[in-house]
Amino acid sequence: MEWNIKKFTDLSNKEMYELLKARVDVFVVEQNCPYPELDNLDQQSIHYFLKVDGEIAANVRLLPKGLKYEEAASIGRVLVVEKFRGNGFAHEIMKRAIRFIEDEWNEECIKIQAQEYLNDFYGSHGFDRISDTYLEDGIPHIDMLRKRN
């Protein structure tokens, strides 16, 4: 297992392709949801990912305060590739992402846009629901906020 945390400009072409492929495979193909995956936020984000035997297994995108939300940093594009699910990688990468934002960026709040069915998963990481359910690309979503303890 190899944990990686890189700025966009530090990703190799191969790594960027692998990350985008994993995101499209999960969010577009698996969820049968055509949407604009390339949203012009990758370039200013931190990409935190896990490789297992040279393959992308899990990924999150860390967005600094002011990029997506004026009031808080954010975590997005949270995924575990299907063949690597059931190993606890989702919880581990979330813990690492939260720790990075709080320790490296010294942020007090993290705001996320979550698929509604993941409310309990994110709740287990200290996120509280702060919105009603709304549709984003035809999928029920909620906004959630985590405040540093």
Domain count of the fold of the chain: 1
**pLDDT value at residue 34:** 84
Buried b (16+ CB within 10 A) or exposed e, 53-91: eeebbbbbbbbbbeebbeebbbbbbbbbbeebeeeebbe
Query: In terms of Cα–Cα distance, which of 26, 86, 32 is closest to 59?
Result: 26
CATH number at residue 134: 3.40.630.30
**pLDDT value at residue 33:** 85
**pLDDT value at residue 47:** 98
Whole-angstrom distance, CA of residue 6 vs CA of residue 142: 28
**pLDDT value at residue 67:** 96
Q: Which domain holds residue 54?
A: 2-147
**pLDDT value at residue 43:** 97
Over the chain (149 residues), the average pLDDT of each successive run of 10 is: 97 96 93 87 97 97 97 97 97 98 97 97 98 94 94
